[in-house]
Structure formats: structure tokens, C-alpha cells
């Protein structure tokens, strides 16, 4: 079972490497962001497979931190593309 998990981790890592090509050659920023999300998700999957395959539980913590960073990267991208600012929107005055 360990060999299968390590082979699966290698396969996922190879697919992530193909996603890196898309980051370098993506025609738009959205394509590049989607490929970056693929790298984050694939990295989490690879780390979780390695954690189970090698019986090293601390790797799960690293995978969770990578997932959290990927979520923040998505939020930052959307806010940057939409031109949103950190200020609260103005509300109309009510009588």
C-alpha cells in the first residue's frame, strides 16, 4: 500500500509540473491564477499522500498551511482584479 501511495504522489506531482507550464505561458492573468490554484491543490494532495505513505503526521500540518495560503492567494487575486479597496463602501444617508 505504501508503494501505491508514493506512486500516486509522484503522479500528482507530475501533473502539477505540467500546471507550471501553464503559469509560465498563460495568456491571461486568470489562466495563470487558475494554474497557481492547481499547483496549490496538487501540492496539498501530494503532501497528504506522502504523509500517509511515509507515516509522518507533521506533513499534514504543512499541507494545511499550503491550502490556507492558496485560499488567501485567490482572495487577493480577486480583490486585485476587481479594483476593490480595503475601505468600507459608502452608504447613502438615511433621514
Whole-prediction pTM value? Answer: 0.72
**Nearest Cα to Cα of residue 42 among 72, 8, 78:** 8
Range of 20's domain? 2-80
15: pLDDT strictly greater than 80: yes
pLDDT at 51: 93
Give the model's pLDDT for residue 25.
Answer: 77
Confidence band of 47 (pLDDT split at 50, 70, 90): very high
User: What is the band of 49 on the pLDDT scale with cuts at 50, 70, 90?
Assistant: very high
Task: For residue 85, tell me if it sits in a domain.
Answer: no
Average pLDDT of 50-63?
92
On whether residue 32 sits in a domain, the answer given is: yes
Number of compact structural domains in the chain: 1
Instruction: Give which of 22, 60, 61 is closest to 38, Cα–Cα.
Output: 22
In a domain, 22, yes or no: yes
> Quick check: is 19 in a domain?
yes
Answer yes or no: is 20 within a domain: yes
Inside any domain, residue 35:
yes
Secondary structure percentages of the chain, helix, strand, coil, to 5: 80, 0, 20
Residue range 3-24: mean pLDDT, rounded: 86
Amino acid at each position: 500500500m505504501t508503494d501505491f501511495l508514493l506512486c500516486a504522489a509522484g503522479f500528482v506531482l507530475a501533473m502539477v509540473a505540467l500546471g507550471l507550464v501553464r503559469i509560465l505561458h498563460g495568456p491571461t492573468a486568470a489562466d495563470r491564477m487558475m494554474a497557481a490554484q492547481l499547483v496549490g491543490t496538487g501540492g496539498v494532495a501530494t503532501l497528504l499522500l506522502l504523509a500517509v505513505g511515509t507515516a509522518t503526521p507533521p506533513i499534514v500540518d504543512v499541507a494545511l498551511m499550503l491550502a490556507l495560503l492558496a485560499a488567501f492567494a485567490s482572495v487577493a487575486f480577486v480583490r486585485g482584479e476587481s479594483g476593490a479597496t480595503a475601505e468600507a463602501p459608502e452608504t447613502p444617508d438615511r433621514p
